[in-house]
Structure 1
Amino acid sequence: MVSPHSQLMKVTKRVIERSKPTRDAYLSRIDKAQGKFPARGALSCANLAHGFAGLEGNDKLVIKQIRQPNIGIVSSYNEMLSAHAPYKDFPDIIKAAARESGGVAQFAGGVPAMCDGITQGNAGMELSLFSREVIAMSTAVALTHNMFDAALCLGVCDKIVPGLLIGALQFGHLPTIFVPAGPMTSGLSNDDKAKVRQQFATGQCGRDALLESEAAAYHGHGTCTFYGTANSNQMLMEIMGLHLPGSAFVHPHTPLRDALTAQAARRVLELTVERGQYMPIGHVIDEKAIVNGIVGLLATGGSTNHTLHLVAIARAAGIIIDWDDFDTLSASVPLLAKVYPNGKADVNHFHAAGGMAFLIRNLLEGGLLHDDVNTVVGKGLARYTEEPKLLDGKLTWVPGVTESQDTAVLRAINEPFQPDGGLRLMQGKLGRGVIKISAVAKQHRTVKAPAIVFDSQEAVQEAFDNGELKRDFVAVVRFQGARANGMPELHRLTPLLGVLQDQGFHVALVTDGRMSGASGKVPAVIHVSPEALLQGPLGKVRTGDTIVIDAEAGVLDVEIEDAEWAARPIAVSQHQAENEVGFGRELFGVFRSAAAPAELGASVFGPLVGEAPHATRHEGQAASAVSSEASHAMQK
């Protein structure tokens, strides 16, 4: 038995201690919620009759008899997302498997699922982050009928999985398994796609060529194959024990995928109170599972979005984590995977090289994961070093490979790509933010250059088109936080800044907005908190100020005398009125006004039971308080 790494234990201990009042309150609440079995037995006859009126045949009779467990299916199926289109057929597979196993399943409800790949650079992107909250609430609406003894959550992409999980954790007494749909098969390589994007940005090719390139990359059902937020979600669900082992990256519309979907239904029935292996989701997602999730994110160079989402997920289970926890672990967790944008391979290549089973085996052998955790397949994470196979038509788990099948993509713990993780905490006079450095070459991790201040990504595009950016500079793009405009992803900037970096200029981005799992080769300090609209120090920066970014040392600073900095007024957004109307923005005004700072997950949900109100936690981060807090943090 490998002893846990000292830093793993250090972070876990402080998370447990920090979270004790809120976690105890959460556990007490969900333990009280587990009442009569089956759950629908607590309903009146009129309530129950409404609950099965829409069913037909034997399923209706089983529900009516109030004897067998009932699975609630919550799905994000739609035809807009390639990753979610395969879910169309999953309910029928689940219902059949449930019947065969002496239970029943009902489609409890659908949740919205928007695609950042469609909305990025457009007004709809300003609703994207808050769609997570809508999905969480929609999940709660689906499960609140109290008809269910277990749940299956069907979701893959960016805000969908975090939203489903936040919602499911409010019904933490229910056994719950997450059911993935898998990645699309490999098309045009991500590297080639990125080249065409840059060519289009510089006028070397037209829109027809760009569209053909994009269509060749995104060509069928399944998740996009780069390692962005969608595939980081799948890694997290597996390493935190909510998937069946090895199910994250199996292609849709294959016999193995269908067998895993059916097995999820059979397994979740075994986890109900009646079947004797009761394991609710609120006891699977605990402090150790959350820390395991952080480790997985760091070891794979996963999406920066999870410095928001994982914080919000943890809080939904009464667990409080912050960016210091990510940073402490990052110093000790080696980078074991290189998947685009961190490398040339896609997620299918990662899976073929050994995938999650190999990754988890090596992290366990390095003492960097907690093995003694609850999972949907029992106690211990060691089961997740196995991978599923169909042998003679029967679903079976076999040991995963013990050696990487491609060391350019996936490596063992004793030969990592780099000795530390793919994310860094950045802090200084400009506040606190994060940077994904796993895709940034070492020579680009330090930038000292004059600021050019922008209040929108459209303004950056205009300056680029006008030839004004052919120089060393740091683009400071502010008023992009959750309170200002919903914290959109600023993907329009990636090819522009990439072109300038390739031309030999030293460039970087600093923003209170997001870049997500697509953060690439240009250093980008994102999620800077507090955001400019909350009187954050980005509002003090002026064009020409010298910005210092040192990703290795975690420094985000501006070279200016303290007295002058303290005296500077904070800018006011000139576009705030535009950010509040059109394309549904009006409906999300309450979300913008309630959003917590990025380090609290940018969530609109209130403080936890036993926790001080959000206001007292983030109001003090504004204006002059930021400078002293950042200075203190750097001295630590």
Structure 2
Amino acid sequence: MSSLNTELQRVTERIIERSRDTRQQYMQRVDEALTKGPHRGQLACGNLAHGFAACSAEEKKDLAGDVKANIAIVSSYNDMLSAHQPFEHAPQMIKQAVSEAGGVAQFAGGVPAMCDGVTQGQPGMELSLFSRDVIAQATAVALSHNMFDGALYLGVCDKIVPGLLIGALTFGHLPAVFVPAGPMTTGMSNKEKVRIRQLYAEGKIGRDELLEAESASYHSPGTCTFYGTANSNQMMVEIMGLHLPGSSFINPYTPLRDELTKAAAKQVLKFTAQGEDFRPIGHAINEKAIVNAIVGLLATGGSTNHTIHLIAIARAAGVKINWDDFDELSKVVPLLTRIYPNGQADINHFQAAGGMGVLIDKLLQAGLLHADILTVADDRGMTSYNREPALRDGELVWQDCPTESLDADVLRGCDEPFSASGGLHVLDGNLGRGVIKVSAVAEEHRIVEAPAIVFDDQNDLVAAFKAGKLEQDFVAVVRYQGPKANGMPELHKLTPPLGVLQDRGFKVALVTDGRMSGASGKVPAAIHLSPECASGGPLARVKTGDLVRLNANTGELKVLVDEAEFGSRIPLASTAGDHHHGMGRELFGVFRSAASSSENGACSLFNDE
């Protein structure tokens, strides 16, 4: 293993210094919450009786004593969404495994789990980002009874894992293991899926053909197989050491998946304060673990959503990171994977090529990961994550992963990367600060200078495309899409029409204070513009016809209008309809009003701007 990369060390030290006060305050709160013996020992008899009233006689006996640890199960299970459906039988497996290992487990609570794939382009999408904060709060409610000595968190998708992790970190005195469900098996190829979506956008096929293709792509229990936010979550949690090694991408309803769930249950029991190897999550998720997550995101071309979520997660642990940290690390972290939308392979192909074990091993060898973080693996450190799980005569074992990738078109080492730098860059200029994902953007499309066409609703852009009004070079400026304006919905609905126009030879780009998607692809998109329009951001002063320059190579984003004139313009109010009522949106006004900026996590929970 090489010595630590000097730039990685420099950025880490800067984060440590920046976070010194907030991290110290957080750790003080974690340590103050520690107790001798089970936490339920602090409860009065009436409290405790309520806490185990529904348990079996044997469990009541165990929980009445002061020896056995009690493990909380917090789950995102529902049976409408494919990624969460596999968690249906997990609690029973966990309870049995914990009992066999000498503890007790209780289902502490469920958290909501919504799917951006279902709500994409719909009013419900405007609840999506803030569902993360609701999930964090629901996690806190589940754990608030003070009955527990450790916790298992069952979650997979976009806002669910960040929400669970934020909630878990507010109970930083408890050890934690995260339990994935795994991806669905491979369906229709990504290339064919994109082709059919673009045909539909052009009006060349109908809804029946589109639905047939989509159903062939999303076809069974498990996470969607493209490398969006859901699978970026799994990578991130494993590279921070909160999954058992190699467990992220094992398909659901397989013997190996079940054994890994049971092993996670037994593992967290080892780390409670009653044992000799206490590992609270607040000690584990520190500045180095957060940097590892950023490195993993850059090395795999992961979801742009984590330039928001990771900032909020870090803040929950008293760690302060910003987009400059992402940008500077991106210059030294190479792109090691090609997984759709950054290539044609899906997450199952990545797993078959060597998966997380090979990826982590290559990054460790190059000195691009902190090996000395506290993990949930038996030997504590990151160096045990170059192993993969397997069943040998029905018994779960960990074996060495391949020393090299088994498919260089999908996964490579640092000596021959797909790109010398990571896939995320910061953009800055007179339109504010934002981020762009370039790992799937061809070199010839990374610089766009064209007139702006301004929209305040993504549906207006789609309508203009269908009416043939966008057959030109242009920069689509989609305003009032930030967290304070309408909850910051993903704008992935815009990908097919913009992709069609790019394929027709036009220079096109998107500039918005909204989110794009974990599936951000081949069209250059300057997203998360901050300050947002609803806070008086400069994007609200752009007019249709203004020349806009987006240069992903230099990080330049500006409107080419005389500085004095642009500064004197009064921000244009949104022309969009009511985005604050209907489909539950009226209940989220307090979240919108309290939300921090994108670069501060777009979070309603820790807004100290």
TM-score category, normalised to shorter length: over 0.9
2:451 match: 450
Report whether the alignment pairs 1:545 with 2:546: yes
Report whether the alignment pairs 1:513 with 2:514: yes
**Which amino acid in 1 is paired with 2:539?**
L
8 A Cα contact 1:80 1:115, kept in partner: no
Whole-angstrom CA distance in 2 between matches of 1:283 and 1:142:
21
Partner deviation per Cα, 1:484-531 (whole Å, 9 max, x = no partner): 000000111000000000111110000011112110110111101111
2:403 match: 402
Shift of 1:35: 1.1
1:634 match: none
Whole-angstrom CA distance in 2 between matches of 1:69 and 1:440:
51
Whole-angstrom CA distance in 1 between matches of 2:95 and 2:606:
36
1:629 match: none
- Equivalent position SS for 2:161: helix
1:626 match: none
Note the aligned Cα RMSD (angstroms). 0.8
TM-score normalised to the size of structure 1? 0.95
**Which amino acid in 2 is paired with 1:574?**
T
Written as runs of structure 1 = structure 2, the 5 A alignment for 1:110-509 is 110-377=110-377, 378-509=379-510
Partner deviation per Cα, 1:80-110 (whole Å, 9 max, x = no partner): 2101000000001100100110001000000
**Which amino acid in 2 is paired with 1:569?**
I
8 A Cα contact 1:127 1:585, kept in partner: yes
- Equivalent position SS for 1:274: coil
1:103 match: 103
TM-score normalised to the size of structure 2? 0.99
Whole-angstrom CA distance in 1 between matches of 2:536 and 2:246:
46
8 A Cα contact 1:36 1:42, kept in partner: no
Whole-angstrom CA distance in 2 between matches of 1:158 and 1:61:
40
- Equivalent position SS for 1:592: helix
2:79 match: 79
8 A Cα contact 1:80 1:114, kept in partner: no
**Which amino acid in 1 is paired with 2:79?**
E
Whole-angstrom CA distance in 2 between matches of 1:59 and 1:509:
57
Q: Give aligned pairs, total.
A: 608
Partner deviation per Cα, 1:557-593 (whole Å, 9 max, x = no partner): 11112111111111111336x0111111110000000
Shift of 1:2: 1.7
Whole-angstrom CA distance in 1 between matches of 2:561 and 2:5:
41
- Equivalent position SS for 1:275: coil
- Equivalent position SS for 1:58: helix
Whole-angstrom CA distance in 1 between matches of 2:568 and 2:203:
44
Shift of 1:57: 4.0
8 A Cα contact 2:67 2:274, kept in partner: no
Whole-angstrom CA distance in 2 between matches of 1:574 and 1:588:
21
2:93 match: 93
**Which amino acid in 1 is paired with 2:380?**
K
**Which amino acid in 2 is paired with 1:572?**
A
1:534 match: 535
Whole-angstrom CA distance in 1 between matches of 2:563 and 2:216:
52
Following superposition, which runs of at least 4 residues in structure 1 exceed 6 angstroms of deviation?
none
**Which amino acid in 2 is paired with 1:292?**
N
**Which amino acid in 1 is paired with 2:466?**
D
2:16 match: 16
Whole-angstrom CA distance in 1 between matches of 2:588 and 2:191:
36
Whole-angstrom CA distance in 1 between matches of 2:305 and 2:380:
29
Partner deviation per Cα, 1:5-55 (whole Å, 9 max, x = no partner): 011011100000000000000000011101131111111100000000111
Whole-angstrom CA distance in 2 between matches of 1:417 and 1:83:
29
Whole-angstrom CA distance in 2 between matches of 1:10 and 1:387:
31
Whole-angstrom CA distance in 1 between matches of 2:332 and 2:367:
11
8 A Cα contact 1:152 1:176, kept in partner: yes
Whole-angstrom CA distance in 1 between matches of 2:499 and 2:482:
23
Report the identity percentage: 62
Shift of 1:229: 0.1
